[in-house]
C-alpha cells in the first residue's frame, strides 16, 4: 500500500507541475501577444502622426497657393479693368461692327480690341443672344480675327 500511495502522490505532483507549467506558458504567450499588439499599435500611431503631419504640410501649401492665385487673379482683374477703363478702342474698325453695334458692345463692357479678340465660343453665344437682331454676325464677319489684327496694328512697335 505504501507503494500505491507513493504512486498517487507522484501522479498528483506531476499533474500539479503540469498545471503550473501550462499556466506559465499561457501567461507568457499572452504577454507575447500583448507585446506584439502594443508594438503594432505604436507603429500605427506613429504612421498616423506622420500622415497628419503630411496632411498639415499639404494643407498649408494648398492655402498658400490658393492665396497666391487669388492675389494674382485680383491683380489681373484690376489690370484688366484699368485697361478697359483707361483705353477704349474704335471697334468700328472691325469688319461688321458699325456705330450701333459698337455702342451695344460698349454697353456690355466690351470696349477694346483685346476683349473682342479673346472672346470664347461661349462668350460669342452670349453676346449673339444679346444682339438678337444680328445673331450670326460675330462668326460670319469673324470679329475675333479682325480684333486681333486691329490689336496688333494698334500695339505694333515701330522699328527703324
Domain positions in the chain are: 1-86, 88-154
Asked if residues 108 and 130 have their Cβ atoms less than 8 Å apart, the reply is yes
User: 468700328: which residue's cell?
Assistant: 92
Asked if residues 119 and 93 have their Cβ atoms less than 8 Å apart, the reply is no
pTM above the 0.75 mark? Answer: no
| Of residues 105, 71, 69, the one with CA closest to residue 88 | 105
Write down the H helix ranges in 2-160. 2-86, 99-107, 113-117, 121-130, 137-140, 143-154
**Helix, strand and coil in the chain, % to nearest 5:** 80, 0, 20
Asked if residues 119 and 127 have their Cβ atoms less than 8 Å apart, the reply is yes
Q: pLDDT, tens digit, for every residue of 109-155?
A: 899 999 999 999 998 888 888 887 666 888 899 999 999 999 888 87
User: 500539479: which residue's cell?
Assistant: 16
Q: pLDDT, tens digit, for every residue of 60-89?
A: 999 999 888 887 777 766 655 555 545 788
Amino acid at each position: 500500500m505504501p507503494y500505491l500511495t507513493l504512486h498517487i502522490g507522484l501522479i498528483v505532483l506531476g499533474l500539479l507541475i503540469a498545471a503550473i507549467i501550462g499556466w506559465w506558458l499561457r501567461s507568457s504567450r499572452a504577454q507575447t501577444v500583448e507585446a506584439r499588439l502594443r508594438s503594432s499599435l505604436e507603429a500605427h500611431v506613429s504612421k498616423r502622426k506622420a500622415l497628419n503631419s503630411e496632411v498639415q504640410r499639404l494643407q498649408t501649401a494648398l492655402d498658400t497657393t490658393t492665396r497666391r492665385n487669388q492675389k494674382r487673379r485680383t491683380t489681373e482683374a484690376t489690370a484688366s479693368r484699368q485697361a478697359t477703363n483707361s483705353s477704349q478702342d474704335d471697334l468700328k474698325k472691325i469688319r461688321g461692327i458699325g456705330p450701333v453695334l459698337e455702342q451695344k458692345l460698349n454697353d456690355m463692357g466690351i470696349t477694346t480690341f483685346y476683349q473682342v479678340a479673346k472672346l470664347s465660343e461661349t462668350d460669342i453665344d452670349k453676346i449673339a443672344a444679346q444682339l438678337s437682331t444680328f445673331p450670326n454676325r460675330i462668326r460670319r464677319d469673324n470679329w475675333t480675327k479682325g480684333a486681333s489684327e486691329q490689336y496688333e496694328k494698334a500695339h505694333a512697335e515701330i522699328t527703324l
